[in-house]
Amino acid sequence: MPTDIIMPQMGESIVEGTITKWLKKPGDKVQRDEPLFEISTDKVDAEIPAPASGVLQEIKVTEGTTVGVNTVVGTIAVDGEAAATKSAAPAAKPAAAAPPKEEKKAAPAPPPMPAPPAAANEEEDEARSSPLVRKIAREHGISLSQIRGTGLGGRITKQDIQQFIDNQGSHPAHVETASQAVPPKRSEAESHAAPAAPRPAAPAPYPGDLVPMTNMRRLIAKHMIESRRTSAHVHCMYEVDFTRIVNLRSKLKTAFEQRHGVRLTFMPFFVRAAIIALQQWPIINASIDGDNIRYHRNINVGIAVALDWGLIVPVLKNAGDLNFLGLQRGITDLGERARTKKLKPEDVEGSTFTITNPGQFGAVFGLPIINQPNSAIMGVGGITKQPLVITDKDGNDSIAIRSVVHLTLGYDHRLIDGAVADQFMAQVKKNLEQWNEDVG
């Protein structure tokens, strides 16, 4: 009997999920626990592993379809069944022999076609790839028209171009057909399986196109509007002399990575500075519960992670109990699992305060929307060198080049008064400018 592939329940409150992408086609071999398909729920996007080893026999639920948990979405043929599936392929060929005749009739047209598409589709290739992908393509002398994108709407991801580069050395003869064909060794499996799970390559969207939102984008839109309607948003901004920490990180980052096996980033400095201030101003870590104020026992810091397909806020639980190394390891782990779709529903629940970092893309500062049901969110701007007036202990002023960062606090004025928000941010500023904690 084939093994059923089930839509999993990703948390107690999850009742359904949307299949966003199948990572295998019918006829493909799969290994147990190998990523098989991607789903999106109202909590997380995740890769779902195969429940058994064998051959993907059938896809019952197509991409973009939302189904309830425990629904059978496909089947895997195991052991002897997998062999039977392959042996049945030749018998299926005669039935599928009609389409090739039509292709032969159209055969005279293809010869003059190869050259024009490269030029005609140049803008499309640019539109369906990121600046990083285009940079990699230029460095390796690769035309994006040669690559079949597996991202949403046929978008070419970093993984697609990297796989193309890796395969170029071992399969140079197939470079020109990579954008439209599967390696010959899998043609038999795909020829008998194609009718069960067609995967048309969606064209990249152009100005004027009407494209449906992804599940994640719909949820982001819903949550942002709800937050605006719920909280009385006010923002304040503080300029911070970040020179001490920039110099400290520059001095310690190599030894830190060698000693602990994790990169030293700036984020744990911001998180730790905020935690110290939250412990002194617990109202910033509180939330409104009806006509009551709920003061949370723990400080659970949500850290926004920008993804190619949206934004997610995994939560560093009990952050107030972690030392600096624990913060860095936790932040790195959450970020990596967010980007590889390995987060669980509990990883994005229970935040009491949020930090977002628009500065990583060059923004001087941001005015973020509060992550409900939090009452505040801190935005971290870009770190830049600027001339600042420095006053020494004798009161003498001078101008020096310093590393500067702008921090903003978005807060719910229903709960937090402006004076309290300013005192909190003044403490964060002091914690950073006078940093004296052991980094490890």
User: Mind telling me the catalytic residues?
Assistant: 413, 417
Rounded Cα distance between 122 and 160, Å, is 18
Helix (H) or strand (E) holding 103: helix 98-105
Kindly report the backbone phi and psi dihedral angles of residue 385, in degrees, each rounded to the nearest multiple of 5, phi listed first.
Answer: -90, 130
* Angstrom distance (rounded) from CA 134 to CA 112: 27
Question: Which H, E and C letters describe 255-289, residue by residue?
Answer: HHHHHHCCCCCCHHHHHHHHHHHHHHCHHHHCEEE
* CA 193, chain centre distance (Å): 31
- Residue 425, CB half-sphere, CA atoms under 13 Å: how many? 24
Strand partners, 336: none
Asked if the peptide bond before residue 373 counts as cis, ω within 30 degrees of 0, the response is yes
Query: DSSP strand E in 183-325: where?
Result: 233-241, 287-289, 292-294, 301-303, 305-307, 310-312, 315-316
Separation between Cα atoms, residue 385 and residue 269, nearest integer Å:
18
Give the angle 403-249-282 at the CA atoms, nearest 5°.
80
Q: Which residue has the tokens 């606090």?
A: 409
CA distance 386 to 124: 40
The SS3 call for residue 207 is coil
Least Cα distance to 55 among 73, 19, 80 occurs for: 80
Residues with Cβ < 8 Å from 273, sequence gap 6 or more? 428, 431, 432, 435
Q: Is 234 exposed, middle or buried (0-12, 13-18, 19+ CB in 10 A)?
A: middle
Residues 82-92 as b/e (b if ≥16 CB within 10 A, e otherwise) read beebeeebeee
Whether residue 179 contacts residue 161, with contact meaning beta carbons closer than 8 Å, is answered with no
Q: Is 433 helix (H, G, I), strand (E, B) or coil?
A: helix
